Amino acid sequence: MSEDQFDAVIVGGGIAGTVAGYLLAKEGLQVAVVERGNYAGSKNVTGGRIYSHSLEKIMPDFAQEAPVERKITREKISLMTEESNVTLDYYSDMLGIQGSDSYSVLRGVFDKWLQEKAEEAGAMFITGIRIDDLIFREGKVCGVIAGEDELEAQVTILADGVNSLLAQKLGFRSELCPEHVAVGVKEVIELPVPVLEDRFSCRGNEGTSWLFAGTPSAGRVGGGFLYTNKESISIGVVSTLSELVKGHKSVPQMLEDFKKHPVIEPLLKGGKLIEYSGHLVPEGGLKMIPKIIGNGVLVVGDAAGFCINLGYAVRGMDFAVASAECAVKAVLAAKEAENYSESFLQCYQTFLSNSFVMKDMIHYQKFPHFLEETPRIFAAYPRMAADMMAELFIMNGQPAQPLMKNMMKHVKEVGLTTIAKDAWKGVRSL
């Protein structure tokens, strides 16, 4: 290897890119991570939650040092109409057990910490640079091109996000399918700590994850989210791109309406907006995974479509970490064999298949389609739940009716057979 050539060049300083840089540098490889922002995480957007299990394997006890916000010990899932909200609220210390815990995070802070850890291990970060193209020689990717500059490498790892233009240039994927991606907008709203902890029943460093279906996405495929941070909350709305063209509301307008909901507005009272951001989110599951292996090149994280939205949980960061780890194993094997061909790098696919990444992607492959073909989840079912709760709790002086009769009245509005079919399909897709 020449003096101006790296063992690996990584495009993108998100979680997948920084973890890959950290692991490769720890093994003594010469690594460059190229990030378009001014620092890792400067342009990253997420609802704000990381499941710790995959990073815990790589950095034991990382949460003791990392700038995580709050440990999630309360899960809330709501079906929301314009005037009502029906919520499942689950609290348990079991959610906080190390190795199976999760944390709210602010990516601008968290990713920057990961960058520092990777730099301490020996990785070089080149920030504020956009990669325009890839270097090709004899059918192999040999590095990257930024303007008039070139960085050569034995292997290039693409960690440049869901809209990976480099993967598209390679022919690994075509234009993104509207059904496979969503548009999300998020605000970070600062609140005094005592106020935040009182409003969300937080103890110490405990926090809440709250997901919503129904009116936040205007009754279409998508939803709202809220995560408690140390001194702020992250609140936002996500809607599938294909659904947006059918409706009359933009995602920013959905967020404004969501914030004004009678359940949400009091929670934000007195808060100060400190961040506003928007981003594309991979939602297609297994169907949107592109080709991820080529001669001298691997694709990881969101760029590879490794993300799952299950309605009750959204996972992406743990997949980013694990896919980066699998890619690093493949690079180390390739370096030892001095073979960076596509056929040899297929071991990356083997490592992925043996990890939870592909096993979970395969297991949940039918769920995105279930959401697409069941719009009732986002309109009819929230309305049915709200109406049934009204029957239980509203007393108006009229003679009481049999409870079953009152409940079945609202069930029949959707259709008992329809509900049974949806429940069966939903369970099977999970």
3-state DSSP assignment of residue 352: helix
Integer angstrom CA distances of residue 68 from 25, 64, 103, 427: 24, 9, 6, 33
Residues pairing with 151 in the sheet: 144
Under 8 Å between Cβ of 159 and 301? yes
User: What's the pLDDT score for residue 177?
Assistant: 86
Q: Is pLDDT larger for residue 210 or for residue 48?
A: 210
- Taking only the tens place, the pLDDT of each residue in 317-367 is 999 999 999 999 999 999 999 999 999 999 999 999 999 999 999 999 998
Residue 68 CB coordination number (10 Å)? 24
Helix (H) or strand (E) segment spanning residue 115:
helix 107-121
Residue 191 CB coordination number (10 Å)? 22
3-state DSSP assignment of residue 8: strand
Does residue 261 register a pLDDT over 90? yes
- The DSSP bridge pattern shows strands 85-91 and 31-35 to be unpaired
Closest CA to 208 of 98, 79, 89, 100: 89
C-alpha 420 chain-centroid distance: 30
Q: Name residue 170's amino acid.
A: L
User: What's the pLDDT score for residue 2?
Assistant: 47
pLDDT band at 297 (very low <50, low <70, confident <90, very high): very high
Under 8 Å between Cβ of 347 and 327? no
Does residue 35 register a pLDDT over 60? yes
Q: Is pLDDT larger for residue 42 or for residue 408?
A: 408
User: What's the pLDDT score for residue 12?
Assistant: 95
3-state DSSP assignment of residue 412: helix
- How many whole angstroms separate alpha carbon 185 and alpha carbon 216? 12
| Mean pLDDT computed over every residue of the chain | 93
Q: Which two tokens stand for residue 318?
A: 């743990």
- How many whole angstroms separate alpha carbon 381 and alpha carbon 298? 42
Q: Name residue 230's amino acid.
A: K
Q: Give the global pTM.
A: 0.93
Q: Which two tokens stand for residue 394?
A: 């509203």
Residues pairing with 227 in the sheet: 209, 234
Integer angstrom CA distances of residue 152 from 146, 250, 349: 11, 43, 24
Under 8 Å between Cβ of 179 and 201? no
Under 8 Å between Cβ of 242 and 178? yes
